[in-house]
Structure 1
Amino acid sequence: MLQKLREKTSGWIAGTILGLLTIPFAFFGMEQYMTQSNATWVAKVEAPPTWWRSAPHWWPVRMLWDVEEIDSSEFRTWFEQARQQQRNEAGDAFDPRAFEDKANKRKVVEEMIDVRVLRLMAEHAGIAVSDAQVRAMIESVPAFQVDGKFNPQQYQLALASQVPQRSPRQFEQLIREDLAQGLIPKQLVESGFATESEVDRLLRLFGEKRDVEFVVMPQPEPDTGAVEAAEIQAWYDSHPGDYRVPESVVLEYVEVDGSTLQPTPADDAVLRQRYEQEQARFVEPEQRLASHILVRVDADADEKAQAEAKARAEKIAAQAREPGADFAALARAESDDTGSKEAGGDLGWVTREMMEKPFEDALFAMQQGDVAGPVKTAFGWHVIQLRMVKEGRQTPFAQVREQLLAEQEAADRERMFNEVTGKLVDQVYRNPTSLAEAAAAVGLEVKTSDRLVRGAVPGGLFSNPAVQRAAFSDVLVQDGTASDPIELGPNHAVVIRVAEHQPEQIEPLAQVGGRVIAAIRRDRAAKAAEAAAAAMLDEVRAGKPFAEVAAAHQLAVTNMPQMPRGMPLPDARANKAMFAVAAPAEGKPSLGKLVLDDGRIVAFQVTKVIPGDLSEVSEEQRATFRQQLGRSAGNDDVNALVQALRKRMRITVAEDRL
């Protein structure tokens, strides 16, 4: 039977069928096989290659596309920053539960996508940023300065203290990418403009004044009428959110705080050993004061262009070496580096790893006063002048002993923290439904929280977003098991367990009947007050003078001739409403009303509109306003550019990972 099967499957017909079956696997099955992975990205931006703009997205052509992924950890960092910003702006009105909704998460990820889109655009456009521009940006960062001036040692220490740590070369590459990515948007914003007619029209509008009369009706009289049972039930059914008891939990927790741990103080032998091992940290690096002249040429330029650029650089180098040559004047005349050209090619003080390797090797091989080059980098050919040298200096042990002691203590405290946390986790894994034994094993106390309401910010460690997410996660709520350690800060973590859980529920009508009746009566009173205000305005529309109608209702009229836009009288919302109504027709005032936050009602009439007087606007004010309008138009251009770019790219958002 096996022989017959072999004969049936070895002919040309079987081969043809097998070949046809291979085609769909090549385009679909193999792709799935080759791309199997545990994806962690929340969004992905894919752009066709620059040399094939119309490249299709199907596999295997898709492999040629440029891809930028946004992973979940980066998204979470952006989202927490947005949360903190919103909390600072809203203050006590901030609602953490509302902030966690899908719309906010989608807004943050869309902002991150826009950044990736601009980054791909910069790469495809071949935008290059000079070393001088990178240096200027870095030197302007206050964290890298001492007494208002850039300090190389402070720069390296600041980078070493970042999380994650970055070398100078890595940080400079990050700055280079940011500058390249922001170049076109920055130029668009700066090139935005407004025409004189636009400026005139908006100045007249913003400077507009109106003749306004208004009354402020008192807060509505309390309603004391009877409330029927059917009305109570209808209100309760139509306002379920007003009587919701949010989900809540009570937690057991064990907090591990490294700042409370007391390691044994290190002796001099340990400190000296640390000093010897880390001597490089206590060396002020050699610095070289350099200038350069750049002959720019693209890295992918043909041989002829490269040769011409090199020949020009050699000629400049020969001129720079001539006795009495003025290197700065030569740089201003010949250099293609716009960042340093006007400064005579000055690059300031340079330490190792601040420049590209060929440039660095040449500079640190020179003697003071030498001119070297041409030297080839990705930007072109450089002619380099070394103007001054500051030798490196070793800081003695005695001078840094206290610093070493503090660092050793911090390291020992971190080690103790890791040991305690590790032992706590081991014990929790043995019995995940209880924290008592694990806490006792490491000498810590199990504490119990007050009742925590989902979305509330109780303060302390329970305000931490990671603690909030874990406390109300399905796993901890349903299983009653302890969490993994949740990081609260450096050397500070907590392990929690849900001891008690109360799901979200609607309070029974029997418990909230009094609140329902009070709400119905407030609603009745508000509607009655609004009806009275509307009736009063109807009398004015019928032809009665506003003052006469107000007097009949025992209301005082406030007369505001030429009220300016933005004047908060009786409050900002009322002023906005007064300027939102249409201009009055001949002999007929424009009427309106607004309910204030405290329940009072403002009823008003606008009798005259006076456009802004352009003669009252100074040239300086006009120039500032024109600049603001131009920047606004430039920002609109940037948004339009991003939207156009997005249409040419393929953007995927993993909603389930947000």
Structure 2
Amino acid sequence: MLQDFRESMKGIAFFIVILIIVPFAFVGIDSIFSNSPASDAELDVDGHSISRLVVDRALAIHKQRLLQQLGDIDPALLDDAILRGPVKQRLISEKAAELTALENNMGVSPATIASLLQTVDVYQTDGRFDRDKYEFSIRQMGYTPREHHSYMSNGLLLSQFASGVVDTGFVTDADLELAARIFEQRRNYYYLTVPIAPLLADTTVEESDVKAYYEEHKEEFRTEERLEINYIQLSARNLVDQVEVNEAMIRELFTARQEMQQASVRRRVAHILVEAADDGSQAAEIEEIQAKLASGSDFAALARQHSDDLGSAEQGGDLGFVESGAFPAEFEMAVLGLSEGEVSKPVETDSGIHLIHLTELEESEALVFDIEKASIEAELKQQLATDLLPEQIEQLRELSYNAETLSETAKTMGLTVGNTEPFTRSGGLGIAAYPAVVSAAYAEDVLSNGYTSDIIELGEAGVVVLKLSKHYTAGYSAFADVSADISALLKHELATLALVERADALKALVAGGKSIEAIARDEGLNWQVSLDTSRFDTSVDEAIRDHAFNLPASSTLPSVSSLSLVSGDYIILSLSGIDSGDLSSFSAARKEGLAQSASRRLAQREYQGYESLILADATVKMDK
């Protein structure tokens, strides 16, 4: 089972690794875990609680994935209140699936997790598992090794459970033939383009029509209330130049790190696992292996022959460099008591009986001061600036309180005053993209009373105080400001009407039997032909291809149709040929690929249905 599971994990291991190793570069650990004791249950699924801490963690991971997808965007712009609901629903689904998996006696062994960790590139140095890198990454996520081991175990269990359903998907020969006819279908079509640009150039709009449109649609030109604000932003980055670091401080930290580096020893181990047998024969097998070792047999060869951990057995029992907390306590204690090259006495865990071979002791290389100096200095400055930040925040609070303007405060603190573009209650650009800034700006004290705001926290961007600069009340855009836009709109509408009229006339000619090529020649238009085109052909215009394939396969040919492009141009298309895919012409490899693709789609739908049944039977409680 272990080997089958290992094989099934290959396709999803990358996703799991990405999920578990991304550091919360923008989301501070303190903000994730403060005031969230593990006993503070936020959800309950069939009597099994999910703590607020777990929800906070999942929310932070979800935000980090969104940040990676959206690019360079500050996490403070992502509203926790909006994101928390979907995250909680996902956790409920996962907990229900986890409980069902456990009820069906599914599980993940520590050896499986350890073996998977060895394959993660970001945990490796020179192709080998690096415990320091691993522990640094999981510390960034707020995990201890044991907590991370548990987190991975749950993730792998869910993947195993999903695979157990999805991998059962299959399709019949009739399904395959239908899929081949649809997905491997080829079509031939001709089309000509009727451009809108010449009509736009020839279209004129009277000013009276523009004014009439403005009056009739005045509500479209209503403007929202808008503000401009002055602000002072303060973060640790502003203070880096205000702190000093001398060489003695750098050497002190360097020495501490060097001592820690020299004290760290990594242990690479291999093992032979003999699982418990119904007849109790495991003890005799262990004695047989020990006797062979005593007579000089190779440990790796014996592991390949005897070990029940098929995943590591293939590598001669190698588990790589072990990290604290990844294996049961009995296993780790035995490892710590071994000398390099030594094999342990039998060690019993829940997985079975192990013989452990310490294959390598590795001490870290000594640090070089000249190489480490710059990074240590930068780190110390950042730390000192961070330590200084609370004091500076209090100073900013005191100096800006009741200040007539922010200029004097900024001058005293060596900061600058920023100014926003006008923004509405929905927010704006720059600092006005932060919901907390918008709320403070539109609060009565700032908007109506003219006071300076209190300190507003912006996460990694630091803090800000703000003061009203300009207030624009709601109203209507002046005609002069929008007349050009209205004129362009009316021109486009008139040109489009003329375009459709011309296109309909040309379409009638095609329907009457005149060829696309002949019409294009007579009218001076561009035309194209696309032959033997597949449904997923990327060498042709996507919108036109999709339109051609959306026409019914039962259409009488040639089938004449039209569509409008995003550019405003009009297309007249003549579908002249449809050739369905033929499964019998497929190679064995291509047929297998189609079968796998079709079965995966079917199995995914079945899993979604199964998941819905599990959730329907679950009793869920939420702490609102």
Q: Do these two structures clear the TM 0.5 threshold for a shared fold by scoring above it?
A: yes
Relative to structure 1, the CA distance from residue 535 to residue 431 in structure 2 (aligned partners, 3 Å threshold; closer, same or farther) is same
Instruction: Report if aligned partners of 2:261, 2:364 keep a CA contact under 8 Å in 1.
Output: no
- Structure 1: stretches of 5+ with no match in the other structure: 1-36, 49-63, 298-303
- Cα offsets for 1:277-308 (capped at 9, x unmatched): 556532252233322233446xxxxxx97x94
Relative to structure 1, the CA distance from residue 538 to residue 407 in structure 2 (aligned partners, 3 Å threshold; closer, same or farther) is closer
Instruction: Report if aligned partners of 1:122, 1:181 keep a CA contact under 8 Å in 2.
Output: yes
- Cα offsets for 1:140-166 (capped at 9, x unmatched): 222222233322344344445x2x454
Name 2:453's counterpart in structure 1.
482
Name 1:10's counterpart in structure 2.
none
| Alpha-carbon distance in structure 2 between the residues aligned to 1:611 and 1:44 | 54
- The amino acid of 2:578's aligned partner reads V
- The amino acid of 1:251's aligned partner reads I
Instruction: Report if aligned partners of 1:257, 1:417 keep a CA contact under 8 Å in 2.
Output: yes
Taking every aligned residue pair, what percent have the same amino acid on both sides?
A: 21
SS at match of 1:607: strand
**Cα deviation, residue 579, structure 1:** 1.6
- The amino acid of 2:62's aligned partner reads W
Relative to structure 1, the CA distance from residue 40 to residue 71 in structure 2 (aligned partners, 3 Å threshold; closer, same or farther) is farther
| Alpha-carbon distance in structure 1 between the residues aligned to 2:212 and 2:530 | 43
SS at match of 2:566: coil
2:542 is the alignment partner of 1:572: yes
* Greater Rg by CA: 1
**Cα deviation, residue 577, structure 1:** 0.7
Relative to structure 1, the CA distance from residue 497 to residue 150 in structure 2 (aligned partners, 3 Å threshold; closer, same or farther) is farther
Instruction: Report if aligned partners of 2:106, 2:161 keep a CA contact under 8 Å in 1.
Output: no
2:18 is the alignment partner of 1:46: no
Name 2:66's counterpart in structure 1.
82
Name 1:332's counterpart in structure 2.
304
2:124 is the alignment partner of 1:145: yes
| Alpha-carbon distance in structure 1 between the residues aligned to 2:343 and 2:622 | 54
**Cα deviation, residue 119, structure 1:** 4.4
Q: In angstroms, what is the RMSD of aligned CA positions?
A: 4.6
- Structure 2: stretches of 5+ with no match in the other structure: 1-34, 447-451
- Cα offsets for 1:540-591 (capped at 9, x unmatched): 55x45455777776656545454444457873111211121123655x5322
Task: Give the alignment partner of residue 353 of structure 2, picking from 362, 381, 405.
Answer: 381
| Alpha-carbon distance in structure 1 between the residues aligned to 2:39 and 2:559 | 56
2:615 is the alignment partner of 1:646: yes
Relative to structure 1, the CA distance from residue 212 to residue 417 in structure 2 (aligned partners, 3 Å threshold; closer, same or farther) is same
Q: Which moved more, 1:220-229 or 1:598-607?
A: 220-229
Relative to structure 1, the CA distance from residue 344 to residue 453 in structure 2 (aligned partners, 3 Å threshold; closer, same or farther) is same
Instruction: Report if aligned partners of 1:582, 1:590 keep a CA contact under 8 Å in 2.
Output: no
Name 1:31's counterpart in structure 2.
none
2:344 is the alignment partner of 1:372: yes
Structure-1-length-normalised TM-score: 0.72
SS at match of 1:608: strand
2:295 is the alignment partner of 1:323: yes
2:183 is the alignment partner of 1:185: no
Task: Give the alignment partner of residue 217 of structure 2, picking from 236, 248, 258.
Answer: 236
SS at match of 2:344: strand
Name 1:468's counterpart in structure 2.
434
- Cα offsets for 1:230-258 (capped at 9, x unmatched): 97379626xx5x53545543222222243
Structure-2-length-normalised TM-score: 0.75
Name 1:292's counterpart in structure 2.
271
Name 1:281's counterpart in structure 2.
260
Q: How many residues are paired up?
A: 576
| Alpha-carbon distance in structure 1 between the residues aligned to 2:547 and 2:568 | 16
Alignment of 1:524-563 (within 5 A): 524-538=494-508, 541=511, 543-547=512-516, 558-563=528-533
Instruction: Report if aligned partners of 1:332, 1:344 keep a CA contact under 8 Å in 2.
Output: yes
- The amino acid of 1:82's aligned partner reads L
Relative to structure 1, the CA distance from residue 243 to residue 147 in structure 2 (aligned partners, 3 Å threshold; closer, same or farther) is farther
Instruction: Report if aligned partners of 1:79, 1:108 keep a CA contact under 8 Å in 2.
Output: no
Relative to structure 1, the CA distance from residue 647 to residue 590 in structure 2 (aligned partners, 3 Å threshold; closer, same or farther) is same
| Alpha-carbon distance in structure 2 between the residues aligned to 1:602 and 1:200 | 33
- The amino acid of 2:312's aligned partner reads S
Q: Which moved more, 1:478-487 or 1:360-369?
A: 478-487
Task: Give the alignment partner of residue 582 of structure 1, picking from 532, 549, 552.
Answer: 552
Name 2:417's counterpart in structure 1.
446
Alignment of 1:6-17 (within 5 A): none
SS at match of 1:288: strand
| Alpha-carbon distance in structure 1 between the residues aligned to 2:127 and 2:274 | 33
2:605 is the alignment partner of 1:636: yes
Name 2:19's counterpart in structure 1.
none
- The amino acid of 1:218's aligned partner reads P
| Alpha-carbon distance in structure 1 between the residues aligned to 2:281 and 2:474 | 73
